[in-house]
Amino acid sequence: MSPAEPTLASLPNPLLRYLAATRPAFLPVTLVGCLLGLSVAHASGVPVSVTTAFMTVLFALIAHAGANVINDYYDAESGCDAANDSRVFPFTGGSRFIQNGVLTPRETALFGYGLLASVVPAGLWLTLHSAPGLIVIGLAGLLLGWAYSAPPLELVSRGLGEPAVAASWLAVVVGADFVQRGAFSWTPLLFAMPFALLVANLLFINQFPDAAADALAGKRTLVVRAGPQEARWFYLAICSFAYGWLLFLIERQNLPGAFAVAAVPVLLSLRAWRQLLLHATDPPQLAGAIRLTIAAALAHGVLLAGVLLSGAH
């Protein structure tokens, strides 16, 4: 066990214990997704309500936290986290709360489902201040967050984890825009695509350290199916499509050159891919590549939102 992993002794405060169980280090991805959706709405000339924007961000973060906790519960049930001796904590192998005796499986399940349930009344309140279509987006997001790891669907175990994650963060951006716009639009979907793909690449690279344990537990992720050596090239394909989509969008929509700044994080993505190319079967060496992948997704989203907010459109 890594010294950084949680223990009951290191988390005596129950509030901090449950907060840490949500894996807060990953939540900024959802924060940036909401920021991007709100920025698209603003750039489209939609007046942005501070109250509904705040509620959107808050409960999107809670939904993400709930999905993280539920994922820990079902990965403990399948045995893959317990068998994961190659994990790169805190990025892969789960939160270790169940395995290290910080929370029981029952406590974890109740907490995760409680977080997801708390999103429902907030979603209904936002719907009253927006439009009924928000219910469709919200239910889709909750379903994807649950079905990612929960039986009987277990999308990640069927090699569908990446599409599920990309769809989830498309829903985050589209939902944040919808609350303000009160209607469906292609605009947030188009701008969200590169960001959602870069978030999916984070899930993908995290599968490399976990591949052996996933295979033992019957989780047929893309890395398990293709093998680490072949799977390395999927990372390059995903990030190439993400940045290629951005450049295609700039050309097709006749956007100002300022939008190209959102492609600068490709340097981080390529550096991460180079490390993955060299160390696909050496998990301890992948921590840097995982950090770069997180940084690329966050930087892209922030830069794109910044250009939209600047009025360069």
pLDDT digits (tens, 9 = 90+) for 290-302: 999 999 999 999 9
Give a yes or no: residue 250 inside a domain. Answer: yes
The per-residue pLDDT for 313 is 64
The per-residue pLDDT for 141 is 93
The per-residue pLDDT for 107 is 97
The per-residue pLDDT for 157 is 87
CA distance 211 to 227: 8
CA distance 86 to 308: 41
Give a yes or no: residue 9 inside a domain. Answer: no
Domain count for the chain? 1
The per-residue pLDDT for 311 is 80
**Straight-line distance from the first to the last Cα atom of the chain, in angstroms, rounded to the nearest whole number:** 50
The per-residue pLDDT for 217 is 87
Please identify every stretch of the chain with a pLDDT value under 70, giving residue numbers as ranges. Answer: 1, 312-313
Give a yes or no: residue 235 inside a domain. Answer: yes
CA distance 147 to 136: 16
Give a yes or no: residue 202 inside a domain. Answer: yes
Give a yes or no: residue 79 inside a domain. Answer: yes
Give a yes or no: residue 7 inside a domain. Answer: no
Give a yes or no: residue 4 inside a domain. Answer: no
Do the Cβ atoms of 245 and 197 come closer than 8 Å?
A: yes
Give a yes or no: residue 5 inside a domain. Answer: no
- Three-class secondary structure of residue 300 per DSSP: helix
| Domain extent at residue 119 | 14-310
